[in-house]
Structure 1
Amino acid sequence: MQDALFDLPATPPEQAVIARFQLGGEDLGEPDQWSLVFEAERSIEATVAAAGVGEVDGNEFGGGEVVIFAYGPDADALYRVMEPGLRALPFRPAHVVLRYGEPDDDVMSKRIVL
């Protein structure tokens, strides 16, 4: 006999906030741009940890852009906490993708222009 009415996954699917910023200069951007990204990332990471909404998982430089990755159980809550720090970065064009589940072809997502 089952104790639950529904078969729910043991852990909820991980959701994501993926922020992309266009950099100037060469493929990896310029050192002063890296400093701004690292400073903003540390600040966002502390804010996310304090709010208990997930974790900032790092960044990736290449192709003339930087991507910042964060994961948690609720992409909307995670983005609300991250938004001020992301908008403070001066690099444009920029956008954020909120992914509502594991990375699949059919997972729901939302794109927000910064």
Structure 2
Amino acid sequence: MQDTLFDLPETPPEHAVTAHFQLGGDDLGEPDQWSLAFEAERLIGVVVAAAGVGEVDGNEFGGGEVVIFAYGPDAHALYQVMESGLRALPFRPAHVVLRYGEPADDVVSERVDL
């Protein structure tokens, strides 16, 4: 007899999409850049949730850039849904990193310039 209590399905690894945008001004950018980044993050979050491909999990300002973080089971599918919203942000240079799996030294990642 098999004990189903311990036969739990493995959780698939979480993939990530991190979008990096260079800002002008000081280390944290300028207030008008913040509002554009916050609005883009909100709109992208709505689209990602509606598509059911993951979630947008916030941002980080510092070092002269803003980074938007998103997570889901398939980095490529997540990026496809996010791409038009990310490309609409005017900050350049910019790039996206797609991470295929949990953070680790040997995880596969891909960089896409915007």
Alpha-carbon deviation of 1:15?
A: 0.1
Partner of 2:101: 101
TM-score after normalising by structure 1: 0.92
TM-score after normalising by structure 2: 0.92
Alpha-carbon deviation of 1:63?
A: 0.3
The structure 1 segments of at least 4 consecutive aligned residues displaced by more than 4 Å after TM superposition are none
Partner of 1:68: 68
- The alignment partner of 1:66 has SS state of strand
Matches within 5 A, 1:45-64: 45-64=45-64
- The alignment partner of 2:38 has SS state of helix
Residue correspondences, number = 110
What is the root-mean-square deviation of aligned Cα atoms in Å? 1.6
Matches within 5 A, 1:1-114: 10-114=10-114
Alpha-carbon deviation of 1:9?
A: 6.1
Q: Deviations over 1:34-78 (max 9, x none)?
A: 000001001000000000000000000000000000000000000
Give structure 1 stretches of 5+ with no counterpart: 3-7
Letter in 1 for 2:98: L
Letter in 1 for 2:27: D
